[in-house]
């Protein structure tokens, strides 16, 4: 059985990773989605066990102690982690799985899965990113500024990625992500 | 101006390179096609200046002498060559260009364009390839046997390619080729 590909979708906070991914998964059924665990409170509309596993800090660190995360990290004062078992089982079954993750997290995933496919989602520009963070309206001024500063830092990571997608037009971004997944299935493994 | 990608579509004779490529170009306009020159006689339906430049041996070797080919080779007793100027101009204009070429030719293109994207089109099986060569009905028995023997040899080249596409279902093969072209445009250049 040919092992599946792990696709890592990352990029600065607020760039639209979640939106692109949800749009992809709506029509495209040839890939599984790795659900992250987090201690941050759910946003409006987010569903436990679908968007995230929303855990208490106690539950979260129980999983850390049992080595049940591929990676975990503290981001913006909350903990995020990628449960190991589902990712590994899916890849072994020969199915692709996609992981939406912040850049710190992607860096750690690379330690375990250097062969994964790393996709960096870019904002059309930084003023656009600022607009989107404002529109989301869930962050206070200080948090927004911190996120923008981080985004500028994080852009330096692009060189470590295999692909970049500029999230200017949603449909086009989704089309490109889908093309990357299909193309990588055709890749000759060396 | 970001340089375009050169996509090299290769594979054993009779695998369906031409059919896949024509189907791609029918709907997909975001890529140019590199027209080869050849001294072999045109097949039914093939148009000079669209499918190939059909040249006399004298005309062909005039171009060889003027260094106007990226590569040229003798295959099955005919000469084939890739005119240099159009490929180079297209890439410099920032447009992608696709080149359909036999495996000997692809090997030579790699000397000038190691950074090109190499796609190997595979038959679903060798008995299928045989069936296709029979169906084409333009070759005598000895030519067919030679082509099949070559095909087995050529399969060893797969490891030098970036992508493989199994030409089982035409639409799926075209979809995969298109995905490769789109994905490669998103690739982070190192």
The model's pLDDT over B32-71, given as tens digits with 9 standing for 90+, comes to: 999 989 999 999 999 999 889 999 999 999 999 999 999 9
pLDDT confidence tier of residue B83, bands split at 50, 70 and 90? very high
Residue A160 φ then ψ, to 5°: -85, 0
Nearest to A165 among B162, B181, B186 (CB): B186
Q: Is pLDDT at B77 greater than 70 in this prediction?
A: yes
Higher pLDDT pick, B60 / B189: B60
- A190: which chain B residues are within 8 Å (Cβ-Cβ)? 159
Over residues B149-171, the mean pLDDT reads 90
DSSP A117: E
The pTM score is 0.86
Q: For position B151, what pLDDT does the model report?
A: 77
B184–A186 CB contact, under 8 Å: no
Residue B157 in any domain: the answer is yes
Residue B127 has a pLDDT of: 67
pLDDT at A138: 66
CB of A24 within 8 Å of any CB in chain B?
Answer: no
Is A150 inside any structural domain?
yes
Which DSSP letter does residue A40 get? S
Per-residue pLDDT of chain A (190 residues; tens, 9 = 90+): 789 999 999 998 889 999 999 999 998 999 999 998 999 999 999 999 988 999 999 999 999 999 999 999 887 789 989 999 999 999 999 999 999 998 888 999 999 999 999 999 999 876 677 777 777 766 678 888 887 887 788 888 899 999 999 999 999 999 999 999 999 999 998 7
Alpha-carbon distance of B65 to B63, in angstroms, equals: 5
| Mean pLDDT comparison of A142-156, B78-92, B136-150, highest-scoring range | B78-92
Q: How many helices (H) and strands (E) does chain A have?
A: 7, 9
A42 in a structural domain? yes
A190 domain residue, yes or no: no
- The residue among B26, B34, B15 whose CA lies nearest residue B83 is B34
CA dist., res. B9 & res. B12, Å (int):
11
Interface touch B175/A162, C-beta < 8 Å? no
CB pairs under 8 A between A and B: 65
Question: What pLDDT sits at residue B55?
Answer: 96
More confident: B131 or B15: B15
φ/ψ of A47, rounded to 5, equals -115, 130
Q: Three-state SS for B167?
A: coil
Residue B71's region, left for phi above 0, alpha for psi from -120 to 50, else beta, is: beta
Pick the more confident residue, B81 or B75.
Answer: B81
Tell which residue, B154, B23, B160, B166, has the closest CA to residue B98: B23
Contacts of A185 in chain B (CB under 8 A): 176
Shortest alpha-carbon distance between residue A163 and chain B (Å): 4
At residue B173 the predicted structure's pLDDT band, cuts being 50, 70 and 90, is very high
Tell me which residue range forms the domain holding B41.
6-185
Q: Is A190 on the interface with B (CB under 8 A)?
A: yes
The structural domain count of chain B equals: 1
- Place B180 in a pLDDT band, splitting at 50, 70 and 90: very high
A28: domain CATH number is 3.40.50.300
Inter-CA distances, A29 with A16, A26, A55, A96, B8, Å: 20, 8, 27, 10, 30
Per-residue pLDDT at A22: 92
Return the closest-CA partner of residue B73 out of B48, B45, B103.
Answer: B103
Q: Any chain B CB within 8 A of the CB of A7?
A: no
How many whole angstroms separate alpha carbon A67 and alpha carbon A83? 9
* Percent over 90 (pLDDT), chain B: 68
Q: Is residue A1 a part of any domain in this protein?
A: no
A164 chain-B contacts, CB cut-off 8 A = 186-188
**Nearest residue to A28 (alpha-carbon basis) of A16, A18, A20:** A20
Alpha-carbon distance B75 to nearest alpha carbon in chain A (angstroms)? 26
Flag the least confident range among A154-158, A168-172, B166-170, B174-178: A154-158
B183 to A183: CB separation less than 8 angstroms, yes or no = yes
Under a CB-based contact definition with an 8 Å cutoff, are residues B6 and B87 in contact?
A: yes
């Amino acid at each position: 059985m040919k092992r599946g590909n792990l696709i890592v979708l990352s990029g600065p906070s607020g760039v639209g990773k979640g939106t692109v991914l949800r749009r992809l998964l709506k029509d495209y059924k040839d890939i599984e989605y790795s659900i992250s665990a987090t201690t941050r409170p759910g946003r409006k509309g987010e569903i436990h066990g679908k968007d995230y596993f929303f855990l208490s800090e106690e539950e979260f660190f129980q999983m850390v102690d049992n080595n049940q995360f591929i990676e975990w990290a503290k981001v913006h004062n909350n903990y995020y982690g990628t449960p190991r078992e589902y990712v590994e089982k899916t890849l072994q079954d020969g199915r692709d799985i996609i992981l939406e993750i912040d850049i710190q997290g992607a860096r750690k995933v690379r330690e375990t899965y250097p062969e994964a496919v790393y996709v960096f989602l870019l904002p059309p520009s930084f003023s656009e990113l600022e607009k989107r963070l404002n529109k989301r309206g869930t962050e206070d001024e200080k948090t927004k500024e911190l996120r923008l500063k981080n985004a500028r830092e994080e852009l330096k990571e692009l060189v470590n990625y295999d692909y970049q997608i500029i999230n200017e037009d949603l449909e086009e971004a989704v089309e490109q992500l889908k093309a990357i997944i299909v193309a990588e299935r055709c890749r000759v493994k060396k």
